[in-house]
Amino acid sequence: MSVNQPKFAGKVAFVTGGGEGIGRAIALQFAKHGASVVVSGRTESKIKETVQLIEKASGKGLAVTCDVRKEDQVRAALQKTKETFGRLDIAVNNAGVDEKASPAAGQSVEEFERVLDTNLLGTFLSVKYEVPLMLEQGGGSIINISSGAGVIGVKGISAYVASKHGVIGFSKSVALDYVEQGIRVNVVAPGMTETDMMLKRATGGKPDNIAKAISGAPIGRFAKTDEIANAVTWIASDEASYIVGAVVVVDGGQTVD
């Protein structure tokens, strides 16, 4: 790569849950650094808005509506990626949902399954169809998005915690499956971040609780979405070429033990 060439020039990135929050920030960061970005999500208007922002900044983007819980939709989204750009170099599996806080015994089976279907099954299905495209070209980089809740227990959100722990275990196994074939798989685990979902969970929907929520992070503030995106793009880059199966926690010290 020449000094003046963007670090992802000529590469294609696929981002699930790219319509808002951390996913949007990740998509914009890859585009900023020269990648063509496929933005996937369930809400067409939101992913199209992300692509509009990419194009406004002179980048290349493609919006693909996809529910990661549905295998046929995931397969079609990756096929569309190949048809449009001819390759896949980077995949960021970010799509996820939260849950209504409840002690485990009070949780319904339907709610538990809903959370795991998106956060864990959705990650599996995405990887299942990303890997073959990367193998065709001899390698790539996959970053699965877990959470600080993927490395500790959190009261009242057992389904979410289980799903995010599962993402980490799954990712470590997949990393070993494909490292010899040139695919690096890693995890980024964000802590409290300025997204609608995170703010709602951290404050219980009450803005007056923000100060109390922030007190849980030694750094004294929530993360900006760009700070999570910075970690993701670095891990995806050649600068992190020896990092495999790692869990990079970006939480301002919240889970330090």
Catalytic residue among 129, 160, 178, 242: 160
Question: What span, in angstroms and rounded, lies between the C-alpha atoms of 27 and 53?
Answer: 10
Q: Are 223 and 208 in contact (CB under 8 A)?
A: no
Question: What span, in angstroms and rounded, lies between the C-alpha atoms of 20 and 42?
Answer: 11
Specify whether 178 is catalytic: no
Q: Are 229 and 240 in contact (CB under 8 A)?
A: no
Crossing angle of helices 21-32 and 196-203, in 10° steps, is 140
Which strands form 60-65's sheet, in the order they lie side by side? Answer: 60-65, 36-41, 12-15, 90-93, 140-145, 183-190, 247-250
Mind telling me the catalytic residues?
Answer: 160
